Each structure stands twice: as C-alpha cells, then as structure tokens.
C-alpha cells in the first residue's frame, strides 16, 4: 500500500542549521527535503496525529553546525526530540493535550548567554486545546497557552492565557519575547532570563480595530509588526517600555498618557510609537523580519511577496507566485529562505534577488471553486498505464502527479490568464479527461459571465509530445455546444476519437485529422473536427462512455441510456430507465456489462447486460465514482454513506468491489473524505513498489483511491488484509535519500480502513424499476403488431424476476 498526496503546508517548515535540509510537516510525519535538489531525503515517523510544529535546535557555535536535533509537536499530545540525520527518536514528552503550536524561546536565548544557561532546563511554550476545561464554563475558551519543561518532561499548571481557539505562538528571534494574536489584540510575554514554572511572565497587550492575522518580532530591537485582515501592517516600536524594562526609572518619569509622545498608539498601550503600512489588498498572511532587521517580508492572500525597507518604507515585490502565501522562513544561511504557498508548494528562494531556486511541490489541493461549476466538475483524471493523476489547480493549470513516486511531474497551462488568488473565481477548468493510453487529453474551461455578459466555454484537445513528455494544445473549440455546459468527455479506447456531451441536449463526436486519411500530405494539420452530432428527444446528455472495443458509444440522456454506433452516428438501442438523472456511465471492461450511477433523491447504481439490453441488478447507493479494470472482471464503486451510518463504518464513504455478474461485492473498504473522491485501477510494477508478489496472483493492477482533499492511497484490491507497508522509495538522485513513508495527514484521526466483509446490512437491494416505456425497444409511434409485442412483454417480465437481487 502506498499513501501519498500529503499536505506540505499545514505548518511552517524549518531549516536545518547548515540550511541544506528543510524539515516539512507532512501529516503525521516530518519529511526532510534537500534544499539543493528539492527531493526527499528522509522522514521522521512516529507521531500518530498531525504534526503542528517543528523546531530545529540551533547551533550554539559554528563547530556545532552539524548538530541535527529537532523538536516536533503534534496533535497527539506529544513533543518528540529527533536526530533527523539518522533519523532516530531521542525523547518523547507526553503532555496529553493536542498541541497546536510550540516555541522554545530558551534556545534562542541561550545562544547568547551560553555560559550561564548551560545548566538550565529548556522551556517550551505550547498552545494547546483543552476541551475538558472549556466544557466547565459558559464561555468556551478551549485554547490555552502553557509552559512545558522539556528537560524534565513536565507541564506547568500555570495557564498564561486562554483563547477561544488555539492560536499559533510566535517567538522573537532574540528569544526574549513570545507573542500570540487573539482577535483584535496582541499578547506579548517577556521570557524571564531564568525560567521556571512558578515565574509568571510579564505580559502586555496591544490593541487594534481589526482582526490580526499574523505577527513578527524584530530580531534586535523591541519592534513588533502585525498584519490584519484588511491588508494593513502595523509596526509598534519600543513596546513594553514601561513593563518589561528593568530599572525603568527613566521611563517612569514620562507621563503615561502623553498623546504626542506616542504617535499612533491606541488605548494607552505600552509602546512608544505605532506606524501603519498598507499595500496588501487583502489579508496579510505572514510577516517576517530579515536576520539583520533592516527589512520586513510580508505576504498576502493575493500571492505577492513584499519586501519593505523599514527605514525608508521602500518596497520590492516578487509577484505572480500564483496562490496565497502562508509562511516565510529565514534560513541560517542568509542567502536562502522559503515560502510556503497554499497550492501545496514550498519555494526555496535565493535571497537578495528573490529568485526561485527550487520548488518542492506536493499534489495540488482541490479547486476552491468546486461548487461553482457543480456536478462532477473539478475532479482529477487518471492515466492508468503510467500511474499518473491529472489535477486541476486554481491558476488554470493541470498538474500531472505521479502516484507511484508521490511527486509532481509537470504542469500544463490550460488557460493563458493571470490568476489573482483571492479574487472571485470567474474562470474554471471544469473537466479534464485523459485517453486510455494517456496520449490525448481533453479539457473544458468555463468563463462565467458577468451579469449575463461574456460567458464562454472552451473545449481543448491536447496531444502528448512523445519527445519531451508534455502536452501541447492541438485544437481549441469555442462554445462546442453553444452556451450549454459540457457534462462529460470520453475518449475512444483505440482511435483518435472523442465524444463530448452537453446539458444542452446534444453530444458531438470529434475525430482527429490523423484519423481521417489524409489525401493531401502537404498540410500536416492534425486538428480535431466535429464528426457527428446526436441528440435524443432534446434531453440533456449527462454522461458518455465508449465500450472497451470502441464499437458502441453509450450516452446518457438524462434518465435513459442511448447506444450509438460511433462511426455512422446511428442510434442502436435505448436501454435502462433510471428515476433520476444519470451522472456516470461506464462499460465494465471487456465484459458485456454497462454500469450507470444516478444521483438525486433516488440515487442508484445499476448494472445492465448488453447482450440482453436489460438491467441485471441495482443498488440504492449514492455513487461518487465508478471504475473498471480492463483485464480483470472487476469493477470498483466509491459510494457515499448516509450520515447516520458514518459511525458504524468509521468513514463517510465506502469502496466496493464487484464482479459484474454478481451483485454480492467481493470486497468492501470504508474510507474517509469520500466526497469529491475518485478511484481508478492503475497498473503498477509490483517489484518496484516492494509489494510482495502473492503466489498465484501475478496481477499488476492496483486500485488507487484519491479522496476529496487529494490525499491518496494505492493498494492491491486482492489483498485480503490491508497491510501497513512502508515503502522504500525509489530514488534517482542520491544514495542517502532512501526514506520511509508514512501516514497521510489527518488519516490518523479516524481508522481509515476497516475491513468489513459480509457486513452488509446497510445496502438494501432495490428491484429494478421498469416503467412500461422501457420494455420495448421501439419508439411509441411505430409499435409493431400486438402478437410481436406480447412475447417481448412477457420476456421482460421474466427477465425482471431473474434480475432481482435477493
């Protein structure tokens, strides 16, 4: 089993002391990447829940730079110390409360006062969630800031602050201050030089009229910067002059409420001055001072990194990163830093010039605009032969992600437009479909109209360039079905033929010019042209599929399935009758079965036998995805469970494997986050994946499940038990980079795979409903003689009984 598709940007990463490694929190593990190659080196596995912070123990002297110790905190309530070079677990501190953020200011402090701080204990400030404590009171303040003695593995009883939700802690680079943001306030504590449990730290509060989103401390001076939701950056200079300064006789001499002395400072706060800068159009997502304190880096939701020169207020920009920025981390090497973007990407920057050196890219997150386009839009597509998945991204690209290597391969820009993250979404790549051999791709992009003006739907066909393995656009079709949206694209399994069906009531078969025998060899113009247009009673065409040999084209006309000869565009037969619109249609491999799934008030999964043109069996299931294995007689169904059953199954979805002939599922697996998920049979090389080749089962077909958050798992559908196999990753770059792979993020919260064989009380069998129209394969106006009809009528009755599932 392979898990992957983890979120790289759930927490800020950390640089190692020599800046050659980047430690990234990836779900339950911490993955160590090399900054020079951008590839994975090793992984720290052990936490049982999401890792929320990672802190590298700083080197106190240059000769200790090879020291590779780090602390990690996780939602499972433990703080662990690792040696990430080997990787090895050194120490575990269990504090029994889920930790959302942790800082260890004493590390930074001890750097300077090494001589006298040696013997001292290390104290960590943690932000935890205490549900029990919150339950007792009326005001649900479950976030707490506490101290923790790491050396003695003890948690202090003292609660520094309670907040509504656990807030992330920020420590100053000098190690003197720790701060949090809490709605419209900043709370700052001074870290005592000799820390202990009993010492209640001094604390000040700074106020603002808008909700704070981030804060940062100046490395040398007493300056704190904070960003708010409207894009303003507030910089307080000399905060805590009255309270923190020891021996503040001079300060006391000043009058506290002298307004002129403290420009911009609100509510008699303890600061000397406050200035406001405004550039970001929306929320500021991070702030960070440069190591020498001369510059301030800020990033916002609009995806622009801004460098402020503090003294002059001059700005420099790194624009068009493409997605909201989340974290900015300075490395010990002043020429390197990293930005984490919301598009699950970490960029390593070369600093003064802000050049992007490396990009560590995970699988792209699901579209933020999924609900806009509705239906099955925005779902990834699979290239089954090479184990690739094509994922749409917000900035109009398609990322090709290798499931077997857990690595992004390349991206294809579908729509040449500048993406403004944070703006209202108006252009969406709604559909992407790959042909069976992965050499052709069809995409649909929708431009939403402004007050009914200027909407546009584009269908694009792409062809794979066999040399450099990238897709290039072959044909662009504006408004292929007038202004109607496209419901599905399906490729012919063998030939250069595709079909697009639309809600506007027609479908079109497209052929590539390669397919047409070119008489004129002089013009090598291999575009796609419309071959035929078909429609059935002007009903919206909701799904389309080719049979495995390509001789039959099935198009769902809302509630019935029409079968066509794709070459001659002749309606062959009409089968099936679903009470609600059909959304998915698939032929079950080489067998003569056709599957369809319908949504709506009466969701349903049904299997039709093509040789008899009749329904075999059906279930009342909300089907999210269907997939079949070409060489196996199996097909897999991803179904959503009703909410009432979620508890019993330990997930909101279930994967069922069927033999087409048999309504009893072969295997069933319950999964989480099934909404928006997809399944596919992919071909994988067993030996390379270090999966055991089971005796008598030399099959290479694996089942891939990708959930709504684009985390995925690949497993052997025949494996009787789902094994936890950590896979040693194939590596093509360096020898040391053999690591272990672990859990996907958030899987740990719920047991993911409960093998529930033969526990199938939930699924009720529904007899196939057959209204009278569907019995006869004739249209109503040309019914044949009654004696002919009679036999067919009787036949349909007998068929029905046979087909009923017991």
Partner 1 sequence: MAEQPSKLFPVKPKLKSKPRTTNQTSESKYWSSFKTHQIPGLISVRSLSFSPTTGHPFAVVHSARLSIYSSETLSSISTISSFSDAVTGASFRSDGRLIAACEISGRIQVFDRNTRGPLRQLKSHTRPVYYVQFPLLDKLHLISGGDDALVKYWDVAGQTPISELRGHKDYVRCGDSSPINTDIFVTGSYDHTVKLWDMRVADRKSVMEVHHGKPVEDVIFLPSGGLIATAGGNSVKLWDLLGGGKLLSSMESHNMTVKSICVGKIGRDSGEESNQSRILSVGLDGYMKAFDYANMRVTHSQRFPAPLVSVAFSPDCSTRVIGSSNGIVFAGKRKTKEKEKEESSSTLFWRVAPVKQPRREVLKPSYYRYFQRGQGEKPSEGDYVVMRPKKVKLAEHDKLLKKFRHKEALVSVLGGKNPENVVAVMEELVARRKLMTCITNLDVGELELLIMFVQKYCTMPRYASLLFKVAKRVIEMRAEDIRASVSLRSHIRNLKRSVEEELQIQRSLLEIQGIISPLLTSAVRR
Residues found near partner 1 in the complex (CB under 8 A): 37-38, 318-322, 347, 355-359, 395, 413, 416-420, 423-424, 426-427, 447, 449-456, 476, 478, 520, 522-523, 525, 527, 529
Nearer to partner 1, 39 or 133 (CB): 39
Residue partners of 50: CB distance under 8 A and separation at least 6: 10, 25, 27, 28, 74, 75, 745, 746, 748
Query: How many CB atoms lie under 10 A from the CB of residue 459?
Result: 24
Paired tokens of 664: 């009893």
Quote the least distance from Cβ 518 to partner 1, whole Å.
Answer: 11
Residue partners of 696: CB distance under 8 A and separation at least 6: none
Write the DSSP string, 66-133.
T--EEEEEETTSEEEEEETTTTEEEEEEE-SS-EEEEE-HHHHHHHHSHHHHTTSPPEEEEEEE-HHH
Ramachandran bin of 80, using left for φ above 0, alpha for ψ from -120 to 50, beta for the remaining angles: beta
C-beta separation of 180 from 169 below 8 A: yes
Nearer to partner 1, 484 or 722 (CB): 484
Nearer to partner 1, 287 or 347 (CB): 347
Q: Which residues pair with 24 in a beta bridge?
A: 31
CA gap 341, 13 in Å, rounded: 12
Nearer to partner 1, 375 or 455 (CB): 455
Q: Which residues pair with 476 in a beta bridge?
A: 460
Quote the least distance from Cβ 660 to partner 1, whole Å.
Answer: 41
Quote the least distance from Cβ 296 to partner 1, whole Å.
Answer: 21
C-beta separation of 656 from 636 below 8 A: yes
CA gap 777, 754 in Å, rounded: 44
CA gap 584, 587 in Å, rounded: 10
Quote the least distance from Cβ 356 to partner 1, whole Å.
Answer: 5
Nearer to partner 1, 163 or 393 (CB): 393
Quote the least distance from Cβ 617 to partner 1, whole Å.
Answer: 43
Nearer to partner 1, 176 or 395 (CB): 395
CA torsion sign, 635 to 636 to 642 to 647?
positive
Quote the least distance from Cβ 339 to partner 1, whole Å.
Answer: 11
Quote the least distance from Cβ 417 to partner 1, whole Å.
Answer: 6
Nearer to partner 1, 530 or 755 (CB): 530
For residue 436, the 8-state DSSP code is T
CA gap 140, 165 in Å, rounded: 9
Nearer to partner 1, 361 or 672 (CB): 361
CA gap 729, 757 in Å, rounded: 32
For residue 450, the 8-state DSSP code is B
Nearer to partner 1, 246 or 453 (CB): 453
Q: Which residues pair with 605 in a beta bridge?
A: 597, 619
CA gap 177, 103 in Å, rounded: 11
Q: For residue 534, which of 517, 514, 513, 556 has the smallest C-alpha distance?
A: 556
Nearer to partner 1, 119 or 453 (CB): 453
Quote the least distance from Cβ 409 to partner 1, whole Å.
Answer: 11
C-beta separation of 760 from 665 below 8 A: yes
Nearer to partner 1, 448 or 805 (CB): 448
Quote the least distance from Cβ 477 to partner 1, whole Å.
Answer: 9
Nearer to partner 1, 200 or 456 (CB): 456
Quote the least distance from Cβ 35 to partner 1, whole Å.
Answer: 12
Burial class (CB in 10 A: 0-12, 13-18, 19+), 137: exposed
Quote the least distance from Cβ 187 to partner 1, whole Å.
Answer: 36
Write the DSSP string, 274-339.
EEEEE--SS-EEEEEE-TTSSEEEEEETTS-EEEEETTT--EEEE----S-EEEEEE-SSTTEEEE
Quote the least distance from Cβ 322 to partner 1, whole Å.
Answer: 5
Nearer to partner 1, 235 or 347 (CB): 347
Write the DSSP string, 398-416.
EEEEETTTTEEEEEEE-S-
Residue partners of 782: CB distance under 8 A and separation at least 6: none
Nearer to partner 1, 106 or 285 (CB): 285
Q: For residue 488, which of 381, 414, 593, 568 has the smallest C-alpha distance?
A: 381
CA distances from 23 to 71, 85, 173, 783 (A): 11, 11, 19, 73
Nearer to partner 1, 518 or 573 (CB): 518
Quote the least distance from Cβ 685 to partner 1, whole Å.
Answer: 25
Read off φ and ψ for residue 780, nearest 5 degrees.
-65, -30
Nearer to partner 1, 371 or 643 (CB): 371
Quote the least distance from Cβ 361 to partner 1, whole Å.
Answer: 9
Q: What angle do CA 725, 729, 734 make, to 5 degrees?
A: 155
Rounded to 10 degrees, what is the CA torsion of 554, 556, 560, 566? -30
Quote the least distance from Cβ 324 to partner 1, whole Å.
Answer: 14
Quote the least distance from Cβ 514 to partner 1, whole Å.
Answer: 15
Nearer to partner 1, 352 or 449 (CB): 449
Quote the least distance from Cβ 80 to partner 1, whole Å.
Answer: 31
């Amino acid at each position: 089993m392979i898990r992957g598709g983890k979120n790289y940007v759930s927490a800020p990463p950390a640089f190692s002391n020599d800046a050659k490694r980047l430690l990234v929190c990836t779900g339950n593990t911490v993955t160590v990447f090399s900054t020079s190659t951008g590839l994975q080196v090793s992984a720290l596995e052990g936490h049982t829940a999401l890792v929320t912070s990672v802190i590298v123990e700083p080197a106190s002297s240059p000769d200790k730079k090879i020291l590779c110790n780090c602390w990690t905190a996780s939602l499972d309530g433990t703080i662990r110390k690792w040696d990430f070079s080997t990787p090895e677990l050194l120490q575990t501190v269990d504090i029994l409360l889920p930790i959302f953020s942790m800082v260890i200011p004493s590390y930074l402090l001890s750097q300077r006062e090494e001589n006298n701080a040696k013997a001292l204990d290390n104290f960590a400030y943690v932000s935890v969630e205490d549900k029990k404590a919150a339950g007792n009171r009326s005001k649900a303040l479950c976030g707490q800031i506490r101290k923790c003695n790491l050396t003695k593995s003890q948690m202090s009883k003292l609660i520094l602050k309670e907040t509504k939700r656990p807030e992330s802690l920020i420590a100053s680079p000098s190690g003197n201050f720790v701060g949090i943001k809490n709605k419209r306030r900043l709370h700052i504590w001074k870290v005592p030089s000799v820390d202990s449990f009993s010492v209640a730290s001094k604390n000040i509060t700074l106020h603002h009229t808008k909700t704070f989103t981030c804060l940062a401390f100046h490395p040398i001076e007493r300056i704190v910067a904070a960003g708010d939701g409207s894009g303003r950056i507030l910089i307080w200079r000399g905060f805590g002059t009255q309270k923190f300064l020891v021996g503040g006789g001079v300060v006391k001499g000043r009058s506290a409420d002298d307004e002129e002395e403290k420009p911009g400072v609100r509510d008699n706060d303890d600061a000397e001055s406050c200035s406001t800068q405004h550039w970001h159009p929306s929320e500021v997502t991070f702030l960070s001072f440069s190591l020498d304190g001369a510059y301030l880096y800020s990033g916002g939701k609009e995806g622009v990194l801004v460098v402020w020169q503090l003294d002059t207020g001059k700005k420099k920009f790194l624009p068009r990163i493409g997605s909201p920025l989340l974290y900015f981390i300075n490395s010990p090497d002043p020429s390197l830093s990293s930005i984490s973007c919301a598009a699950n990407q970490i960029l390593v920057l070369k600093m003064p010039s802000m050049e992007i050196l490396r990009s560590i890219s995970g699988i792209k997150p699901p579209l933020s605009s999924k609900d806009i386009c509705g239906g099955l839009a925005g779902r990834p597509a699979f290239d089954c032969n090479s184990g690739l998945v094509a994922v749409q991204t917000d900035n109009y690209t398609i990322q090709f992600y290798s499931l077997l290597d857990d690595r992004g391969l390349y991206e294809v820009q579908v729509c040449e437009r500048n993406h403004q993250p944070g703006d209202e979404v108006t252009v969406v790549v709604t559909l992407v479909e790959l042909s069976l051999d992965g050499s052709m791709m069809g995409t649909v992009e929708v431009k939403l109209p402004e007050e009914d003006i200027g909407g546009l739907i584009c269908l694009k066909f792409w062809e794979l360039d066999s040399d450099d393995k990238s897709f290039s656009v072959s044909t662009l079709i504006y408004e292929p079905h007038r202004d109607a949206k496209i419901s599905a694209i399906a490729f012919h399994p063998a030939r250069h033929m595709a079909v697009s069906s639309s809600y506007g009531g027609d479908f079109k078969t497209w052929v590539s010019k390669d397919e047409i025998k070119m008489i004129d060899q002089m013009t090598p113009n291999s575009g796609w042209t419309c071959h035929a247009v078909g429609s059935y009673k002007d009903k919206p065409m909701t799904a389309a599929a080719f049979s495995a040999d390509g001789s039959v084209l099935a198009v769902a006309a809302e509630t019935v399935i029409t079968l066509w000869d794709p070459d001659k565009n002749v309606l062959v037969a009409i089968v099936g009758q679903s009470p609600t619109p059909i959304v998915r249609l698939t032929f079950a491999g080489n067998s003569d079965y056709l599957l369809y799934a319908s949504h709506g008030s009466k969701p349903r999964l049904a299997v039709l036998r093509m040789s008899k043109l009749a329904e075999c069996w059906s279930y009342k299931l909300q089907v999210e995805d269907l997939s079949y294995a070409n060489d196996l007689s199996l097909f897999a169904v991803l179904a959503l469970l009703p909410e009432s059953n979620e508890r019993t199954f330990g997930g909101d979805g279930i994967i069922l494997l069927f033999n087409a002939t048999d309504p009893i599922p072969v295997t069933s697996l319950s999964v989480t986050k099934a909404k928006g998920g997809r399944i596919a049979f992919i071909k994988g090389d067993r030996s390379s994946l270090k999966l055991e080749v089971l005796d008598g089962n030399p099959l290479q077909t694996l089942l891939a499940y990708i959930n709504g958050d684009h985390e995925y798992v690949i497993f052997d559908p025949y494996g009787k038990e789902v094994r936890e196999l950590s896979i040693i990753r194939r590596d093509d770059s360096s020898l040391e980079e053999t690591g272990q792979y672990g859990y996907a993020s958030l899987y740990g919260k719920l047991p993911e795979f409960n093998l529930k064989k033969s526990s199938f009380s939930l699924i009720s069998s529904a007899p196939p409903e057959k209204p009278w129209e569907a019995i006869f394969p004739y249209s109503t106006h040309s019914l044949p003689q009654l004696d002919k009809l009679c036999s067919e009528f009787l036949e349909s009755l007998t068929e029905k009984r046979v087909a009923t599932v017991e």
